[in-house]
Structure 1
Amino acid sequence: MGSLPQLSILKGPTRPLVVSQLGRIFEKVAAGPAASNIALIFEENGQSRQLSYSQVDQITNKFARVISETIKTKNLKPNSDGDHIIAVNMHPSDHLILVLLSIWKSGCAYLPLDHSFPASRIDHIIQESKPVIVIYDEGKATPKPAYFPDSVISDSKNFPAKLSYEELLTASDGRSDKRLEDKERVYQKDDLAIVLYTSGSTGIPKGVRIPHKIILNRLQWQFKTFPFSETEKVCVFKTALTFVDSVCEIWGPLISGISILIVPKSVTLDPEKLIQKLDDYKIERLVLVPSLLRSILMCLELKKNRTLLKNLKLWVCSGETLTTSLAEEFFRYFPENEYKLCNFYGSTEIMGDVTFYIISGMQQLKNLLTVPIGAPVDNTIVYLLDPELRPVKTGDIGELFVSGLNLASGYVNNRDKEKFLENQLAIDPIFSKLYRTGDFARLQNDVLLYEGRTDSQVKIRGHRVDLSEVEKAVSGVEGVEKAVVLCYQPGEMNQALLAFVKSSALMNENQIENILRSKLTSYMVPQVILVESIPLLVNGKIDRQALLKSYENTNNNDDSSVEIEIDYSGVKPAQMAAAKVLFDTVASVLNRSARSAISLDSNFYEIGGNSLNSIYTITRLNEEGYQISIGDFLSAIDLGEVLERMTSSNDIHCSPPTYTSELLKNEHKSAVLDIITTSFYQKADLEQWLMPDIFESDYKELMDALWEPLVEKALSFVAKAESGKIIGVGLNFDARDEPDVQITSKLTVIFEFLETVEGPVRDKCLPGGKGKILHSFMMGTHSSLSPKENVAVMQFMEDEVLKLATERHFEGIFTTNTSPLTQQLGTDVYHYQTLLDYQVNRYVASDNTRPFGMAPDSQRAIVQWKPIKSDIVVDV
């Protein structure tokens, strides 16, 4: 009784670990038999790039020299922890991996940022971690990187050096591609490899310092427990770089001589595209959060194709609670004993994964309420301790502590030291520190069972979110008197992040949520519920269960129409039956989480939808006899477009409408002016932020100034319906022969902005001389068109622009898209190459004002190029 084996202490196998920097390990791999192997594969917009291990090694050696020399030449100092950190804000691509490896080779550590982070979060990260350089991928065309807040820029002492990927590439030209000697590298304290920022328990994000040795310990265990098979040639990197799972996705294959496929974010967000990509490359292992697993299983069920993903034998779930019901659903699709489903547990501070449990079939799930989190990885001990830090007895619940080689080196600026304690229970120096996870667990049959949190942290789409951080942001909204943030049904499909708000301001839920989008990362924005009062317990504390119960009771109300307004305005009589099925299905799926009325104009995601419940919605529609592909549903602008795309066996299929084009003539001027005015004055994405200083008469002034050269150049056209009615207009110029017009209205702000984002790209990246670049300048459609007709006319006009450019022997088409529809068409349908993705609210005009400062971070201006000849490719 009371002996050690009966206490809740689990020790993983002890194995020797040879410590080295991962950049050095990669160099050895690249110099060996794997030199000619493909290391990086990246596909986007119909283009594919591949680099061998030898090529990656040579390129990154050059980049590392530039980074190291920049730091030494400018005498850039380490931060207060003694670390030389380089922040990286780049979209997933082969360029990103090259930069990360170069940073390690230079002797520095990398700190991932994300384009979706709000300015306040970036501000805090840069101010606290003090990176010496920020490397970004928006190129020289960006006047100022969108993620540098004013407060950082104005403080020259804290402002890191900026280096775009294009500048790094240019500076590396002519440099030696030999590996850097130790004396050429920047000194790196404590073997630091990565800094990852997580949600902080005080409401402020904190940076976790991850050394090379803990990454190596985690990877060494992985190679032993889940070795690469003889047929495994390609692995996949799809996880956000700010998420700790990305570390093993990238570096596990790359120090093993295996290729990695870098998946663009657009593919990761679309389960249908992701499945196809995984199947095409015969991917054999995948790390994902349970919510994505559920989306994939739903998608596979919709496709009715049992051969899809047959090569994907190892599925690893982490980041969220894996329910037994989801595990059972997995084995209803994938044969038992042929496929493995694993449940990993951990956090950023313990290298993401510190315990694991492998499921081979249904038998293991019998009599289990939850899937175990398993046993420790190598060189690791897990303790379940009571409040006095004494081990609890087997079967009792205790707080989970971790010790060993999987522990981070604390936090940036030595914050929250109480999370890393001296281990009084161990003698071996490698177990001298304890990390306090904040989780409860119990030991049963030699495996750990997760029992919840000790604090307010939850997992949202795999990201750790501290409810206090969200609550602090909500409480900071002007007019909010009291806010309580809770998570409903964590880990389940109907999980919801909720903010119960008592407010004196005349704002509705949507307005508060819009304010929060400028303060919080997207996955942290809660559903706001306005309440008249916050219920209290007899002891004066907030009655959280009462709030959740009120949400649940409202959510489970069978009379959905009482809670959710459904508006059938504008639905055609022939489509009313389908509309009722669609709207009722959406109302049923979203239920209480619906943010506004359901109508033709509603965007599924803006009213509360997400990728998971969108697939559930499609499944329900299929059951009702209406077919729509996942891609069509995800890309639909609104429910009106979803309705148009839905078809059933009873539908009468009609021939698509026929449109014709005609070069611009003087007789078209009145109709063109009407379309341009309604398209841009009433609906444009930029003009809305300049109201009320923009007038309809401003467009007449603009058209009067442009009309004669537009007609004379004969590059513009109108689109006509079969009736002869003008329903669209495309205005184009030769990019090297555009007229210099003078206008006096506020529209000059728009054109100054467009020239700011387009000019550097056009002048430095595109072919020179007249007759080379067709500039698709303005495109508009008639206001009477339905959503479906609008898309059809836009597609027709895009085809006409391509035809015109081809006939006139232009080398390519250049355009800037500011609306989500044209951005989607340009990228997904017409495969334009994106040269610049610019966040419009960061634009500073010539008078030092921010004319679009009220725009959300998600509003972008995308500068794009489509080559006409296959050999004309712009390197960005």
Structure 2
Amino acid sequence: MNLQIVERNERSSLLEDYCFTHENLTLIDLFKKSVRENSSSLAIEYEKEKFSYRSIDQLSNQMAHYLLSLSINMETPIVIYLNNGPFLIISILATIKAGCSFIPQDSSSSLGKINDIVKDSGAKYVITDQNLDIPHTRTIHINSVKKNMSNMPKEDCNVSISPKNSCYIIYTSGSTGKPKGVIIEHRNIVNYLLWAKDYYNVKKNRKVLLHSPVSFDLSLTSMLLPVISGGSVKILSRSNDINKLISNTEEHHSFIKVTPTHLIAISDLLSKDSFLNMTIPNLIIAGGELLTKSHIDKWVTRNETLTFVNEYGPTETTIGSTVFSFRNDREVSESIIPIGNPIKNTNIYLLDKDLNKVAFGEIGEIFIGGAGVGRGYVRNPKLTSVKFLPDISGNGGVMYKTGDRARYDQNQNLVFLGREDDQVKIRGYRIELGEVENALLKISEVANASVITRFNENYTYNSLVAFLEGENVKIESVRKSLASLLPQYMIPELMIKIDKIPTSKSGKVDRKMLENKLKKLDDKNQFVVSKKIVEDLFMELLNVEQVSLEDDFFEKGGHSLLAIQFIALLRERHNVEFPLIEILENSNVEHIIITLEKLLPNK
């Protein structure tokens, strides 16, 4: 069944008629089948290096034999903490072949986060390309792995792996301030991949770009789907680099999977002509956060033959649980793009607080049952029992309580309506506001902290805002300390010092009052002032329509002459002497804003 836009009755018929018969397969079974059928075909491409299916099969076999020599047990958790490259995928395959569970972590993850994951998961080994000393685990440098595995057999390990064995563990943000690890079994990921291979019509000898951080389960589609389908993965050297994503995207690629924020970033980064001439595949999969018409308006006017898929699913139910396909925004009646209907072998329930189904059109909480529901949380039976409940269908299975609200529209498509709790998604990353608040409270000068989110006017971009209480709070110092505790995407874009965080009569933080305070912020807020000055000047000098904190002046097209011109305009318009060395040594936009913030008059 190929991906196509069909009438609802026809699509429903297809869903009913199609049923998987592969309940006894593991991820390694799918990979080995692909190796047999595509032995000499390209499997991995990274810069100038190319690896065939036979090559990565043999290398991962050798590495699996080496891991087994370390006296590991079935389902032993192993952290994969590597920079992007071929051995990222080879290490993952080897870990699975040895019967272990891989825990993928992006190379930009802080050492503090890796320590927390090791402690929480009980991981015995960390495979890395960095020189680390992590307590309670053995750190193995990838160069040592390569050396030790070279004399190992190239044949299969023949470890007996069950579809019910753990395949991987993804860590997501936790409301208590402690990240929680989600255990996904082989049968869960096999169900998703077999569905995706068919639905997205993934063909042999077609490439897919791996550009997202591997700790984000959205990237598993781009990493695993091609290698079980006879396609290839082209690995970009830096995760989340929009410029690399743009320059490497080609029309003949199977698909490109991005967050809605990526769509905005790409269309805003390029000039109109460059955007219109950019080569892209005919299938764009969006996932990880709310998708609106505003995210896609430039894309649909560019090319009406593009097929978009809005894929929704918590990590706990294996990457994607529902999909909505469309070719242009005329096919959707509301500003928010629906999340559609369940994928194969998946049940979606909209329930009230008493676990009764709500009436059609009413708002309910999404519960997900079926083949994608994971095992639960690592070493956390209490939370697992709260979130993983007996399926109301009475089939003996389990359903997952998502905390997401939704309703059905007039076309019987699910429409996502936000969270029941304080969990949010920022640029595709799932974040518990409580985890950010707990990290802030670990900083000595912060007496109290509360974090909220804010959207821009058309709901295409949201960000975190932290309110900080404490006599000795210095924003730059807090931001620096927080960087050692949290990954970059969890650090609030704006931090505001406040005398006292408001509370309601019940003693809870009054977030509505904080939101009102945020709205009333005026140009006396130095960070806001600095941010606007830098953004306006960069948009003027670089001829771009949007600038974000993560951008780099030189990567967005700047050079030394434009840097000098930027300094001259600051002097002329704002009476500020900005040191050129600050841009040359650190051209990150956020650093430039913070530097300017200290130089502005009336500080």
Task: Verify same fold: TM over 0.5.
Answer: yes
Report the alpha carbon displacement of residue 379 of structure 1 after superposing the two structures with TM: 0.4
Report the alpha carbon displacement of residue 820 of structure 1 after superposing the two structures with TM: 5.9
3-state SS in 1 of match to 2:32: helix
**Of residues 163, 167, 171 in structure 2, which corresponds to 1:193?**
167
Report the alpha carbon displacement of residue 451 of structure 1 after superposing the two structures with TM: 1.2
Report the alpha carbon displacement of residue 253 of structure 1 after superposing the two structures with TM: 0.5
Matched, 1:532 2:499: yes
- 8 Å contact kept, 1:327–1:341: no
Distance 2:273 2:540 in 1: 10
Counterpart of 2:428 in structure 1 is 462
Counterpart of 2:356 in structure 1 is 390
Counterpart of 2:294 in structure 1 is 325
**Of residues 265, 281, 299 in structure 1, which corresponds to 2:269?**
299
3-state SS in 2 of match to 1:552: helix
Report the alpha carbon displacement of residue 373 of structure 1 after superposing the two structures with TM: 0.9
3-state SS in 2 of match to 1:131: coil
Distance 2:515 2:579 in 1: 44
Report the alpha carbon displacement of residue 482 of structure 1 after superposing the two structures with TM: 2.3
Q: Structure 2 vs 1, CA of residues 62 and 537 (structure 1 numbering), >3 Å: closer, same or farther?
A: closer
- 8 Å contact kept, 1:198–1:206: yes
Counterpart of 1:768 in structure 2 is none
- 8 Å contact kept, 1:502–1:531: yes
Report the alpha carbon displacement of residue 305 of structure 1 after superposing the two structures with TM: 5.3
Matched, 1:341 2:308: yes
**Of residues 417, 430, 435 in structure 1, which corresponds to 2:400?**
435
**Of residues 450, 454, 463 in structure 1, which corresponds to 2:416?**
450
Q: Structure 2 vs 1, CA of residues 503 and 241 (structure 1 numbering), >3 Å: closer, same or farther?
A: same
Q: How does 1:686-705 map to 2 (within 5 A)?
A: none
Distance 2:432 2:269 in 1: 31
**Of residues 259, 264, 272 in structure 1, which corresponds to 2:243?**
272
Matched, 1:283 2:258: no
Distance 1:636 1:276 in 2: 14
Counterpart of 2:517 in structure 1 is 550
Amino acid paired to 1:307? N
Distance 1:647 1:225 in 2: 55
Counterpart of 1:399 in structure 2 is 365
Distance 1:515 1:30 in 2: 47
- 8 Å contact kept, 1:302–1:619: no
Distance 2:561 2:443 in 1: 33
Could you say which structure has the greater relative contact order, defined with CA pairs below 8 angstroms and 6 or more residues apart?
A: 2
Distance 2:189 2:55 in 1: 24
Distance 2:529 2:234 in 1: 36
Distance 2:502 2:142 in 1: 53
Q: Structure 2 vs 1, CA of residues 623 and 171 (structure 1 numbering), >3 Å: closer, same or farther?
A: closer
Q: Structure 2 vs 1, CA of residues 646 and 258 (structure 1 numbering), >3 Å: closer, same or farther?
A: farther
Distance 2:525 2:137 in 1: 50
Q: How does 1:678-757 map to 2 (within 5 A)?
A: none
Matched, 1:66 2:66: yes
3-state SS in 1 of match to 2:164: helix
Q: How does 1:196-275 map to 2 (within 5 A)?
A: 196-229=170-203, 233-265=206-238, 268-269=240-241, 271-275=242-246
Distance 1:539 1:22 in 2: 50
3-state SS in 1 of match to 2:80: strand
Counterpart of 1:36 in structure 2 is 40
Counterpart of 2:91 in structure 1 is 99
Distance 2:465 2:317 in 1: 29
Amino acid paired to 1:382? I
3-state SS in 1 of match to 2:310: strand
Report the alpha carbon displacement of residue 535 of structure 1 after superposing the two structures with TM: 3.1
Distance 1:102 1:471 in 2: 37
Counterpart of 2:122 in structure 1 is 130
- 8 Å contact kept, 2:236–2:244: no
Q: How does 1:642-681 map to 2 (within 5 A)?
A: 642-644=563-565
Report the alpha carbon displacement of residue 307 of structure 1 after superposing the two structures with TM: 2.7
Q: Structure 2 vs 1, CA of residues 786 and 375 (structure 1 numbering), >3 Å: closer, same or farther?
A: closer
Distance 1:195 1:109 in 2: 7
3-state SS in 2 of match to 1:418: helix
The 10-residue stretch of structure 1 (454-463 or 531-540) with the greater mean CA deviation from structure 2: 531-540
Report the alpha carbon displacement of residue 533 of structure 1 after superposing the two structures with TM: 2.6
Distance 2:188 2:63 in 1: 26
Distance 2:491 2:57 in 1: 41
Matched, 1:314 2:283: yes
Q: Structure 2 vs 1, CA of residues 236 and 546 (structure 1 numbering), >3 Å: closer, same or farther?
A: same
3-state SS in 2 of match to 1:542: coil
Amino acid paired to 1:316? I
- 8 Å contact kept, 1:30–1:57: yes
Report the alpha carbon displacement of residue 25 of structure 1 after superposing the two structures with TM: 2.5
* Structure with max Cα Rg: 1
Q: CA deviation digits over 1:67-99, x for unaligned, max 9?
A: 11222xxxx4x5xxx731111110110111111
Report the alpha carbon displacement of residue 511 of structure 1 after superposing the two structures with TM: 1.6
Q: Structure 2 vs 1, CA of residues 29 and 467 (structure 1 numbering), >3 Å: closer, same or farther?
A: same
Q: Structure 2 vs 1, CA of residues 61 and 536 (structure 1 numbering), >3 Å: closer, same or farther?
A: closer
Aligned-CA RMSD value = 3.2
Could you list the runs of 5+ residues in structure 2 that have no partner in the other structure? 1-13, 546-550, 570-577, 588-603
Q: Structure 2 vs 1, CA of residues 623 and 210 (structure 1 numbering), >3 Å: closer, same or farther?
A: closer
Matched, 1:177 2:151: no
Distance 1:57 1:421 in 2: 36
Amino acid paired to 1:92? N
Distance 1:394 1:518 in 2: 47
Amino acid paired to 1:295? A
- Using the size of structure 1 for normalisation, the TM-score is 0.59
Distance 1:425 1:171 in 2: 51
- 8 Å contact kept, 2:389–2:401: no
3-state SS in 1 of match to 2:514: helix
Paired residue total: 556
Distance 1:189 1:16 in 2: 14
Distance 2:385 2:558 in 1: 49
Q: How does 1:453-532 map to 2 (within 5 A)?
A: 453-489=419-455, 492-505=459-472, 507-526=473-492, 527-532=494-499
Report the alpha carbon displacement of residue 42 of structure 1 after superposing the two structures with TM: 0.1
Distance 2:497 2:98 in 1: 52
Amino acid paired to 1:486? I
Report the alpha carbon displacement of residue 472 of structure 1 after superposing the two structures with TM: 1.3
Amino acid paired to 1:452? G
Counterpart of 2:4 in structure 1 is none
Distance 1:786 1:475 in 2: 35
3-state SS in 2 of match to 1:372: coil
Distance 1:529 1:503 in 2: 11
Q: Structure 2 vs 1, CA of residues 521 and 639 (structure 1 numbering), >3 Å: closer, same or farther?
A: farther
Q: CA deviation digits over 1:378-436, x for unaligned, max 9?
A: 0011111111111010111111100000111101003412344443521334xx21100
- 8 Å contact kept, 1:199–1:466: yes
Report the alpha carbon displacement of residue 132 of structure 1 after superposing the two structures with TM: 2.6
3-state SS in 1 of match to 2:279: coil
Distance 2:376 2:406 in 1: 23
**Of residues 505, 516, 528 in structure 2, which corresponds to 1:592?**
528
Amino acid paired to 1:592? V
- 8 Å contact kept, 1:17–1:217: no
- 8 Å contact kept, 2:309–2:324: yes
Amino acid paired to 1:37? S
Report the alpha carbon displacement of residue 240 of structure 1 after superposing the two structures with TM: 1.0
Counterpart of 1:753 in structure 2 is none
Report the alpha carbon displacement of residue 323 of structure 1 after superposing the two structures with TM: 1.4
Matched, 1:118 2:92: no
Provide the identity percentage.
26
Matched, 1:20 2:25: yes
- 8 Å contact kept, 1:420–1:433: no
Amino acid paired to 1:120? G
Report the alpha carbon displacement of residue 283 of structure 1 after superposing the two structures with TM: 2.4
3-state SS in 2 of match to 1:265: coil
